[in-house]
Amino acid sequence: MGYTKNLMETWRLLDTGIRSGAENMALDELLLELKAQEKIPPTLRFLQFSNPTVLVGHHQSVEEEVRLDYCRMKGIEINRRLTGGGALYWGQRELGWEIYISKTDPRIPSRIEDLYRKMGEAAAAGLRHLGVRAHFRPRNDIEIQGRKISGTGGTELSGAILFQGTVLVDFDVDEMLRALRIPTEKLQDKEIESVKERVTCLKWELGRTPSPAQIKKSLLKGFGEAFGVTFSDLPLNSEEEGMLAAKRPFFSSDDYIFKVRESLPRRKTLTSILKAPGGLVRISIAMDAKTKVINQILITGDFFAYPKRAIFDLESLLKNSKAVPSDIERTIQSFFADQKPRIPGIKEGHLIQAIEEAVQKIDLLPHGFAEEETHHLFPVLKRFGEVKKPQVLLLPYCAKEIDCAYRSLQGCEECGRCSVGDAAQIARSFGMDSITIQNYEDLESTLQGLKRSGVQGFVGSCCEPFYGKHRPDFERIGLPGILVDVESSTCYDLGQEEKAFKGQFENQTHLNLSLLQRVLEYAHG
């Protein structure tokens, strides 16, 4: 035994304790650079945060993901990770682990999926030493009986890898929901009733909060067994501390936190949103309406890209190029062929589709739609201009007065108390029928019935999250149409999406009548 142990490689254990978000992010970069220069051995770092902290993924825009006013009011720190993925909320008890290692290390799988699995299984094995039934769940989570306790992800730099994960220890889900704009399009699992039921933490699982020392010991055991290594404590030396101090101001700056992925002004951009297997892709494009040249493009989302600069490179290639489908396709295809970026779960086709959907909105501008308004229009199956003479207007029950006798029934007396009656009148002026949709099943059977009866297209109204989530359902049913966003708080904003699914959402939304009217004029013009 002793002989075998002597052969075991020793990795550096670096416990950097409790630090600010900026310091922790600066340390990530420093250690990754040092590993890339082979100045440090393989290293496992543990980290904690001195304040509650929101960390957006590297490719995300802070404005899109974070409720800024709430975070400022509550003193929640905001920063940006080096790694991709979605925005995270960290309480002060949560624990992070990170591994810095060379890509060519024989213990490191070359396929990204295998790397995620190896790291995830090592961390899960570590958590099992604490007495919880943790398992790796592809693509990059660790779960306990279907509930997420840890997310993982990585990035790379010149042959070095940083792979990191969280462990939720005593998690405040309500605070997370208040601090983050949860990308509701991610709430795909119909069997899971709410965000709260999708996560767990050690305290809930064990009925007590284990100490940081216990958790670290268990994780070290898991990683030690998985990689066949031992660990030796080696704190930051004075040279490393000096380099960290030099990096700290940049990682505390707005230039890093906000401007690396700063939203383009909504007034002047065309946008689209696409849910791909690897995450949500958001496109914002500023383009010249006359020349159709892309002046600026921002590709954000909760995906991972290896190397992380791949997305910036693609944006640079698309900038100043012609916004026509053939050029966009050629640019993206040659970018993937030349640079071979790895973006798990996001294929070139997803990016082409998302960019083309944003670009096609330019065709709406000569018809009197402002850029800002096009954010509220969503195409179903066809380009906007190809949905000709739609015969029906579909309206959501949530726009009816809450105490209206028709709230859960088909029909409306057009009493003037809500926008549904006005919309019905507008539809009639175009010779269209209006139908209220009572719940998701009703939507599906209505669309199928309309298609069977020979209807060629529809215009409808629903909220953006509903479109994002059910877009594949609309496409599967196969009836082309245009959807117009509703106004005011949606059931997703209020965490009532499951109620809405069953037709029991208790709030009222409002139809954007002026936009609906103009969409109908456009489609019937």
The one-letter code for the residue type at 365 is L
The minimum distance between CB 428 and ligand SF4, in angstroms, equals: 13
- Closer to ligand SF4 by CB, 75 or 416: give it: 416
* Beta carbons of 372 and 266 less than 8 angstroms apart: yes
Of the candidate spans 51-59, 198-206, 348-356, 462-470, the one that interacts with ligand SF4 by CB under 6 A turns out to be 462-470
- What three-state secondary structure class fits 414? coil
- What three-state secondary structure class fits 461? strand
- Window 146 to 185, contacts with ligand SF4 (CB under 6 A): none
Rounded to whole angstroms, how far apart are CA atoms 506 and 133? 38
Of the candidate spans 258-266, 328-336, 376-384, 460-468, the one that interacts with ligand SF4 by CB under 6 A turns out to be 460-468
- Closer to ligand SF4 by CB, 214 or 488: give it: 488
The minimum distance between CB 441 and ligand SF4, in angstroms, equals: 13
- Closer to ligand SF4 by CB, 31 or 423: give it: 423
- Closer to ligand SF4 by CB, 392 or 462: give it: 462
Binding ligand SF4 (rule: CB under 6 A), the pick from 462, 477, 519, 523 is 462
Rounded to whole angstroms, how far apart are CA atoms 29 and 522? 51
Neighbours of 468 (CB within 10 A): 20
- What stretches of 170-228 adopt beta strand conformation (E)? none
Upstream peptide bond of 267 is cis (omega within 30 degrees of 0): no
- Window 358 to 417, contacts with ligand SF4 (CB under 6 A): 396, 398, 400-401, 404, 406, 412-415, 417
- Closer to ligand SF4 by CB, 30 or 187: give it: 187
- Closer to ligand SF4 by CB, 346 or 404: give it: 404
Number of residues lying near ligand SF4 (CB under 6 A): 23
The minimum distance between CB 403 and ligand SF4, in angstroms, equals: 8
Rounded to whole angstroms, how far apart are CA atoms 506 and 491? 8
Rounded to whole angstroms, how far apart are CA atoms 505 and 342? 41
The minimum distance between CB 453 and ligand SF4, in angstroms, equals: 24
- Residues with Cβ within 8 Å of 299's Cβ and at least 6 positions away in sequence, in order, are 59, 281, 282, 283, 311, 314, 315, 351, 354
x-or-dash pattern for ligand SF4, window 77-116, by CB under 6 A? ----------------------------------------
Q: How far is CA 491 from CA 181, 197, 382, 394, 488, in A?
A: 14, 17, 27, 18, 10
- Window 203 to 222, contacts with ligand SF4 (CB under 6 A): none
Q: Is the dihedral of CA 229, 235, 238, 241 positive or negative?
A: positive
Strand partners for 144: 134, 147
- Closer to ligand SF4 by CB, 93 or 470: give it: 470
- Window 410 to 449, contacts with ligand SF4 (CB under 6 A): 412-415, 417-418, 420-421
Half-sphere exposure of 57 (CA within 13 A, CB side): 26
Give 417-436 as a 3 state SS string.
CCHHHHHHHHHHHCCCEEEE
* Beta carbons of 274 and 350 less than 8 angstroms apart: yes
- Residues with Cβ within 8 Å of 326's Cβ and at least 6 positions away in sequence, in order, are none
Binding ligand SF4 (rule: CB under 6 A), the pick from 463, 482, 519, 523 is 463
Cα–Cα nearest to 418, from 521, 507, 519: 507
Binding ligand SF4 (rule: CB under 6 A), the pick from 16, 150, 331, 509 is 509
The minimum distance between CB 275 and ligand SF4, in angstroms, equals: 15
- Closer to ligand SF4 by CB, 348 or 414: give it: 414
The minimum distance between CB 187 and ligand SF4, in angstroms, equals: 11
- Closer to ligand SF4 by CB, 85 or 421: give it: 421
- What three-state secondary structure class fits 32? helix
- What three-state secondary structure class fits 324? coil
Q: How far is CA 483 from CA 145, 315, 374, 387, in A?
A: 38, 28, 11, 11
Rounded to whole angstroms, how far apart are CA atoms 254 and 263? 13
Place of tokens 């949560």: 94
| Residue nearest ligand SF4, Cβ-based | 421
- What three-state secondary structure class fits 146? coil
- Window 294 to 353, contacts with ligand SF4 (CB under 6 A): none
The minimum distance between CB 418 and ligand SF4, in angstroms, equals: 3
The minimum distance between CB 442 and ligand SF4, in angstroms, equals: 11
- Closer to ligand SF4 by CB, 360 or 508: give it: 508
The minimum distance between CB 421 and ligand SF4, in angstroms, equals: 3
- Closer to ligand SF4 by CB, 38 or 475: give it: 475
- Closer to ligand SF4 by CB, 466 or 474: give it: 466
- Window 475 to 504, contacts with ligand SF4 (CB under 6 A): 486, 490-491, 500
The one-letter code for the residue type at 251 is F
The minimum distance between CB 401 and ligand SF4, in angstroms, equals: 4
- Point out which residues bind ligand SF4 (CB under 6 A): 396, 398, 400-401, 404, 406, 412-415, 417-418, 420-421, 462-463, 466, 486, 490-491, 500, 505, 509
